[in-house]
Amino acid sequence: MSKVAVATAAAMLLVACSAPAPTTITTIPPSSVTPSPSEVSAPPLELSYERVIQRVLPSIVQITTKEGLGSGIVYDSAGHILTNAHVVGSATRMDVTLATGSASRKARLVKSFSGGDLAVIKVDDPKGLTPARFGDSSKLRVGQFVLAMGNPLGLSGSVTDGIISALGRTVSEPQEPGSPGATISGAIQTSAAINPGNSGGALVDLSGQVIGIPTLAATDPDLGGGAAPGIGFAIPSNTATDIAAQIVRYGKVTNSHRAALGIRGSTIIGDNGQLAGVAVAKVDKGGPAEKAGIQPGDVIISVNGKDTATLPVLAQELSALKPGQQVKVEVVKEDDSTKTVTVTLGTLPGD
């Protein structure tokens, strides 16, 4: 699991779905649930939880590759499964089992969109799959009860509960093996425990609609990388379903709706040992950076006056901007001179 930086004032790290082990509610298939006398008199909230779990859990799957396992959500009756790109990793074939229990099914990768940490796979045999219902994440409210469903630590069909703690967060992860280095804008922060294996599962409201894709959880560097309880992040359902719909229809992402400079680069350290900016290794031919005069060897140090000391920080700044928007980019040239150029942002490619 990869550690990633949170774009908040607090010093904190993120890990791809790593958090303290929660108390889990392991469910059984809805068909075998028989109401007991105690359930008849159960509190309304408890009954709501039970109904949502019975409704949604049949749409949750476990995805197993040679590198590990994660979760996914049945997207449609044709057998498309929505998940995280870091769950799929480099695999093109994987095994899928229902969270409610079933024989393993073979699946193939349709397409990954690493820039948004999303992917779509397709099972060879879609018979009996139950597509999930997706909600409108633009209508979410802080304080709403939510359930996180998935397969943490391989415990199939596990459920944790919490609330929506905040909306509109920007979080990012460094590019490492198994982690695509995505920056997620507009992320949902939740107190529902998210653990290894929850990635790609479902964050669900009490009407039984999927409103997010659990993706990251926070750790506290002051505790030696220990878990920061109750701080997890999910990709909004509107973002996830938009990307999934493009992949299903076109086999790729045709419009990421995300801004790009059109460079490849890396963070550099200055002579004083401090983070010094993003060194440009390559510019896309005919892209925004090249048109503005940015060249390989330049070091980007700010965008619209905001320091960009690292590549993740630069990605975070770009995630808040739109394609076609003009920005001021400050660069240090190879002769140590400083220059500010105006860049008309392009669109982040769909991989």
Q: Which residues are catalytic?
A: 86, 117, 199
HSE toward the beta carbon, residue 67, CA cutoff 13 A: 15
CB 203 within 8 A of CB 164: no
Q: What Rg value do the Cα atoms of the chain yield, rounded?
A: 21
Q: Which of 20, 18, 49 is nearest to 233 (CA)?
A: 18
Query: What spatial distance separates the first Cα and last Cα of the chain, rounded to whole Å?
Result: 22
DSSP type of residue 221 = G
Residues ≥6 apart with Cβ < 8 Å to 100: 27, 28, 29, 30, 57, 58, 60, 157
What is the spatial distance between Cα 300 and Cα 318, in angstroms, rounded to a whole number?
A: 13
For residue 32, which phi and psi values (nearest 5 degrees)?
A: -100, 5
What is the spatial distance between Cα 157 and Cα 152, in angstroms, rounded to a whole number?
A: 8
The amino acid that residue 117 corresponds to is D
The DSSP-derived string for 234-302 is: EEEHHHHHHHHHHHHHHSS-S----EE--EEEEEEE-TTSSEEEEEEEEE-TTSHHHHTT--TT-EEEE
Q: What residues pair up with 188 in beta bridges, in sequence order?
A: 234
Q: How many residues does the chain have?
A: 351
The amino acid that residue 60 corresponds to is I
